[in-house]
Amino acid sequence: MRKLTYYVASTIDGFIATEEGSVDFFPVGGDHGPAITAQYPETLPTKVREARGITKRNASFDTVLMGRKTHDFGVRTGTSSPYAHLRQFVVSTTLPESPDPAVEIIARDPLGKVRELKREPGLGIWLCGGGELAQELLPEIDQIFLKLYPIVLGRGRSLFGAGPRLPEAARYRVITSRVFEDGVAFIKYSKVR
């Protein structure tokens, strides 16, 4: 069965964006970027892949899920299909129709849709963001791949929205970790079953 992986960047105080949705505070450069990109090239937007000449086949993911705010970020930067090299889904109850033929809208029951996608053949499913959607999908998140930046933001959009509401704690274990010279830690977690 395919796995749902929440692959995301976060500050050490647990924020993935400012309250307005900006991610400009995450530094570009350093030694972490090329190393992680080499392992997960499919997590770069299609325009970035093309600009960098990346033609490597998808190795880990063939499907991406994102919330409307995450997708809107791509729209603001000029693309309604940010990950054209992946099968794209946007979870939204307010979008009346898909902004692009390559993007499918999930208007209701995202947990049910994730369970359906997991039963299909293929590579992994990448939960791109945001935090509110991660909170809703937490029961189905099998792995968390966290790029942890040595930044304290103070406030913003949380890694898991307002906080998970679960009958019991969701437990994960570290499967690998690496701290880069630029201070970014890349930690891979797997759900404890």
Distances (CA, A) of 166 to 113, 158, 169, 190: 20, 17, 6, 18
Phi, psi angle pair for 82, to nearest 5°: -65, -25
Q: Are 86 and 110 in contact (CB under 8 A)?
A: no
| Strands 172-179 and 157-158, bridge-based pairing | unpaired
User: Tens digit of pLDDT per residue, the chain (193 long)?
Assistant: 999 999 999 999 999 999 988 899 999 889 999 999 899 999 999 998 999 999 888 999 999 999 998 888 777 777 889 999 999 999 999 988 888 899 999 999 999 999 999 999 999 999 998 899 999 999 999 999 999 999 999 999 999 988 767 667 889 999 999 999 999 999 999 999 8
Q: Is 1 within 8 Å of 151 (Cβ atoms)?
A: no
pTM of the complete model: 0.94
